[in-house]
Structure 1
Amino acid sequence: VEMNEKARQKRKTDEDILQRLEQMQLAEDLAAQREQYLKHKAESTDSYKKALDAQLKVRPPQLPDKEPDGEVFGKNDMNSEKMAERRSRAHNLFQEQQSLVEQKKRDVILAKLAEQQREDEMIKRARNDL
């Protein structure tokens, strides 16, 4: 009975020792992981800082001063001369288009007259032949 108790106690102490060793290993692993994380974080912070410093060193020059806008569109894009020129071009275009339409109408009327004259001549010939 005493041997069983001694064996149990020895097993219990062995298990306790193993658990403590396991806990110590886990604590060391956690500490190593934490150290690795902090090291990686510091490295990434340093690389970010270096990138920002490089951007500041190679900064593009400032934009040139703005110049006032010229007359492009809007209320200032047309003065009286431009409006008069635009009106005269529109009037000329209208007259050209109107004369073109009148010429086409004349051509159609002349073609109809010529056709009627040919038909009249054919009818006269047909009457004379009979």
Structure 2
Amino acid sequence: MNLAVKSTPIITTPKLGYDVLIENQQDGTFKAILLGLPDCEGLGNTETEAIEKLSLNLQTRLETAKIVTLEIEAPKAENPWMKFAGMFKDDPQFDEMLAYIEADRRELDAQVEEYYQQLDAENKTK
């Protein structure tokens, strides 16, 4: 498995968007929790105050940390049908079976064609 960590030097500070869960507490206060980082939260008397405290907590946390993108190479999986490829190559009845399938297919195609011709004829008489 190949792992690569991309770390791009930040020249300008990009704006990051975070989803926040705001919960009403039993004591009438509010708790703002950063989704994905449940230990990063802010408490306040109003939703706005809780969000502001969460924002300060997150900014403090990000001053000593960084966000990187981790790329993982997907494992190479064999196609499950490949184990059946060529399994009939030495079967003496294989050509006979193919001929049977072809004959059956021609018969079905003729039946379908006949059905559509009958429909066409019925529609022309209406």
TM exceeding 0.5? no
* Bigger Cα Rg: 1
Higher relative contact order, structure no. (Cα contacts within 8 Å, ≥ 6 residues apart): 2
Q: Which has the higher helix share?
A: 1
